[in-house]
Chain A
Amino acid sequence: MTMTKDRFGGLLFLLLCLTYGYYAGDIPMLPRDEFEPFNAQTMPNWLAGLGIFLSLLMIFSKGSSSVKNEPLLAANVGIMLGLLSFTFLLSLALPWFGFPVTTSLFLIASYRLLGERRPKMLLLSSVPFALALWLLLTQVLEVYIAPARLALW
C-alpha cells in the first residue's frame, strides 16, 4: 500500500478523531445525565465514531486519480511562514506598543519580506495607512482601542 496524499490525510484525521474521542470522555456531565437520551458527550462520541469510519475509508480506498502535487517554492514557503510569524508577533506587540505603531511595523515588515525595498514606498504605504485607519476607528466611528501599555508607564 503506497502512501498517497489521501491516505496521509486519512491517517492524520484518524489520529485527530482518536484524540477527539478520547477527550470526549472528559466532558463533565450533570448527575444522571448518562441515562438521558442525549447529553454533552453524545455528539462528540458520534462524531468521533463517524470520523474514524471516514478516515479508515480514506486510508483503505484506492484514492483519487486527480490528486496533484502543488508546485511550491521553498522560498515562498519561507515567506508564508515569515508572514504568519509577523502576524503572531503583531498579536504579542499590540497591547504593548498600541495600534498605530504595531500595525505600521507589521505592514513595513510584510512589504519588505515580499520584496519591496524602497524606504519611501515602505513608509508611505504603511504609516499614513495605519494612522488613517486608527483615526477613522477612534475619532469617526468612536471605537475604543486600548492605548499602548508602554505609553501608560
Chain B
Amino acid sequence: MLEGMFSGLSTALMPFNLLMVVVGCFAGTFIGMLPGLGPISAVALMIPITYTLDPSSGIILMAGVYYGAVFGGSTSSILINAPGCASTLVTTFDGYPMAQKNQAGKALALAAWSSFSGGTIGAIILIFTAPALASVSLSFQSADYFALMLLGLTSVAAFSGPGQMVKAMVMTVFGLMIATVGNDIITGAPRYTFGVLDLVDGVSFLLLAMATFALAEVMMTIMRGQTLGSDQSMEKVTRSSMKLSLSEVKEVAPTVARSSVFGFIVGVLPGAGATIASFLAYGIERNLAPERLKKMFGKGALRGLAAPESANNAASTGSFVPLLTLGIPGSGTTAIMLGALIAYGIQPGPRLYVDHPDVFWSVIISMYFGNLVLLVLNLPLIPYISRLLAIPPRILNPLIIFFSIIGVYLVSFNTFDIQMMVVITLIALGLKLLDFPMAPMLLGFILGGMLEKNLSRALVVSDGSFDFLWQRPLTLGIMCATVVILILPKLLGWVRLRRGNLMPAAD
C-alpha cells in the first residue's frame, strides 16, 4: 500500500499534474458558477482535453474540475442565489441571506473552509477505506458484478426524489437501450445500426455526455431566458471581508466534522451523491442546533452554510470509492469519469488498485491538492473570478456550445457526430421538458456494456439458470440490498402517510 501511495504521490507531485489540478480547479470554478452548468457539464466539457493527456493527468484534471465546479456552484449560490448545481442548492438557504446582510465575503470564506475540511476528512477516510474495499472486491465474480451494477442503477433511481423514481428507472432503461446500439460486444452482430456505418461502433460516450449535459443545459438556459443577475453582493466581495473570527470557527467546527463524516458515508452509497448528503446534513444540523440558533436557519446561520458545504464536498470524495474500487460510478459525474477511464483503456475496479496503482493513488492524492488549491488560490481570487460572470450570455453561451461541438469533433473528426449531437440534444431537451432526469440515462449507458457482459458470463456459467442470483452469499446480499433500496422510498412514504393519518385521529 505504501509503495503505491508513494508512486501516486510522486505522480501527483509532477509539475504538470500540479498544473492540471490548478487549471482544473480554476476551469471548474468558472463553469460551476454559471447557473445550469454543474459538475457533470464541467467534467463533460473537459473530456476532449483529457484525451490528449496521459491517464493520470487526465483524471487529475477531471477531479480538479469536479471540485472546482462544486465550489463554483457554491459561489454563485451565495452571490446571486443561483446554484450552479443541485448539490449547492442548500447553500443558498443560508449563504444568500448572509450575502444580503453584507457578509458575502464571510459566507464565501466559510463555504471554502467547510469544503476544504469536508474534502480533507473525506480524502483521509478514502485513503484507508478504498484499498481495503479494493482488496475485498478482488474476489468478486461476474454474478457479483452484475448484482452490484443492478444495485448502482437501482439506487440512482431510488434516490432521485419524490415522484421521480419510475422516471429515473425509465431513463436508466433508455440508457441501457442506447448502449445496445452498435456491434454486439460478444458475438459481433450489428444491433440497431440500420445499415449506417457510423453507428457500427455504437454511440460515443463523449457525444452523449456533451449533448445531454453541456449542450442541452445551455439550450435550456437560453429557452428559460435565464441571465446572470448582476447582484450587488458581487461588488461587495473583497479579500479583507473574507475573515472568520475565532468564536465563529469554534461554532462551526463540530458541524463541519459531523457533516464531513456523514457526507462521506452518503457519498459512498451508489446513487446517493452530494445533493442528498447536503440536504440531510442541513436537516441534521437544524435538528441538533439549540433553539436560539435553530431560528437562525434560513436567515444566514453559519452552521446552516457550513453543514451542506462540508457534506457535499465529503460526498464528492466518497463517490470515488465505488468508482475506484468496484468500477461502479456513484454519481453522474463519476459516471463520466468512468467513461473517460475506459476510453483510456483503464478499467476501474478492484484490478485498478493492482494494475494501475499510480492512477489509483494519484487521483486520491490530487483530490487533496484540489481542496488545497481551492482554498489557497481560488478563494482569494473569487472577487476577480466572479467578474467573469459579467461576460454577457450572448457571447458566453455560443462559446460553450462551440466548445461542446468542437470537443466532440476533435475526437472523431467525423461530422456525423455533430449531426447526431443535434438530434440527441433535441431528444434530451424534450425529455428535460417532461421532467425526466438525465443522469440515470448516462449511468445506464455507461454500465450497459459491462452489465450485459457480466450477465451473459453468469448465465453461461449457470447454464441459463438464474440460480447465480442467490447461490453465493455475497450476490444474495447485494440483491437483497437492491430490493430494499427499491422499496425503501415507497415504504417510508407509506409510513409517513400512516403517521399523518393517525395524528389527526389521535388529536
Contacts and interface: CB of A to CB of B under 8 A. Distances in A.
B164 interface: yes
B187 A33 contact: yes
Contacts of B418: 87-88, 90-91, 94
A29 B169 contact: no
A151 interface: no
B405 A9 contact: no
Contacts of B463: 37
A114 B166 contact: no
Contacts of B174: 13, 16, 51
Interface string A29-69: 11001001111101110010011001101100101111110
Nearest to A112: B394
A73 interface: yes
B405 A87 contact: yes
A77 interface: yes
B48 to A, nearest CB: 11
Range class of the B interface residue count: 35 or more
The A interface, classified by DSSP as helix, strand, loop or mixed, is helix
A68 B463 CA distance: 48
Contacts of A65: 163
Contacts of B197: none
Nearest to A52: B173
Interface in A67-98: 67-68, 70-73, 76-77, 79-80, 83-84, 87-88, 90-92, 94-95
A123 interface: no
B415 A61 contact: no
B398 A110 contact: yes
A74 B81 CA distance: 26
A141 interface: yes
Given A51-B177, A64-B163, A94-B415, A70 B224 contact: yes
B455 interface: yes
The CB with the most chain A CB atoms within 10 A, among B186, B402, B419, is that of B402
Interface string A110-142: 110011100001000100010001000100010
B421 interface: yes
A143 interface: yes
B175 to A, nearest CB: 10
Nearest to A55: B170
Given A40-B187, A87-B418, A103 B219 contact: no
A73 B224 CA distance: 7
B433 interface: yes
A84 B219 contact: yes
B96 to A, nearest CB: 21
A121 B420 CA distance: 31
B342 interface: no
The CB with the most chain B CB atoms within 10 A, among A50, A57, A83, A88, is that of A83
A20 B410 CA distance: 31
B162 A44 contact: no
Interface string B181-214: 0001011011110000000000000000000000
Contact of A9 (B162, B163, B436, B464): B436
B395 A95 contact: no
Given A47-B176, A110-B401, A38 B435 contact: no
B419 A30 contact: no
B224 A71 contact: yes
The CB with the most chain A CB atoms within 10 A, among B219, B225, B395, B410, is that of B395
Given A43-B455, A111-B394, A80 B460 contact: no
B189 A143 contact: no
Contacts of B278: none
B401 to A, nearest CB: 6
Interface string B420-447: 0110011001010111100000000000
Contact of B415 (A51, A70, A95, A110): A95
A91 B393 CA distance: 24
A43 B180 contact: yes
A80 B429 contact: yes
Contact of A61 (B164, B166, B177, B421): B166
A143 B410 contact: yes
B405 A90 contact: yes
Given A8-B434, A76-B222, A20 B166 contact: no
Contacts of A9: 167, 170, 431, 434-436
19 contacts: A9-B436, A16-B174, A27-B190, A28-B190, A38-B460, A38-B464, A40-B186, A47-B176, A64-B164, A67-B163, A76-B223, A80-B219, A88-B419, A110-B398, A114-B398, A115-B394, A116-B395, A141-B52, A143-B410
Given A27-B184, A44-B180, 19 more contacts: A5-B435, A8-B434, A16-B177, A23-B192, A40-B187, A44-B192, A47-B176, A51-B174, A54-B170, A58-B170, A65-B163, A73-B223, A76-B222, A80-B219, A83-B219, A88-B422, A106-B398, A110-B401, A141-B52
Interface of B: 52, 161-164, 166-167, 169-170, 173-174, 176-177, 180, 184, 186-187, 189-192, 219, 222-225, 392-395, 397-399, 401-402, 405-406, 409-410, 413, 415-416, 418-419, 421-422, 425-426, 429, 431, 433-436, 452, 455-456, 459-460, 463-464
Shortest Cβ-Cβ A-B pairs, 7 listed: A64-B163, A37-B464, A110-B398, A91-B418, A114-B394, A38-B456, A40-B189
